[in-house]
Amino acid sequence: MHHLIDNIVFFLKMDGYGAFIWSAYGLMLVLFLVSLVSSFKKFHRIKARLRSEN
């Protein structure tokens, strides 16, 4: 948790351009994780459905 706060302070200290790049990178990472989690849940749902049909 402390590491996260350090990162936020670091981002705030950066110039606008660097902060923009890091925020864009962070956003892409978050979107990737969200899609990964949603596809993982979908996969489990399909697996459960196949198991119930058999």
CA distance linking residue 12 with residue 31, whole number of Å: 22
The pLDDT, as a whole number, for residue 1 is 63
The pLDDT, as a whole number, for residue 24 is 86
pLDDT in tens, the chain (54 residues): 678 888 777 767 767 777 778 788 889 999 999 999 999 999 999 999 999 987
The pLDDT, as a whole number, for residue 10 is 76
Query: What kind and span of H or E run contains 2?
Result: helix 2-13
Range of the domain at 26: 2-53
User: What is the domain count for the chain?
Assistant: 1
CA distance linking residue 39 with residue 10, whole number of Å: 33
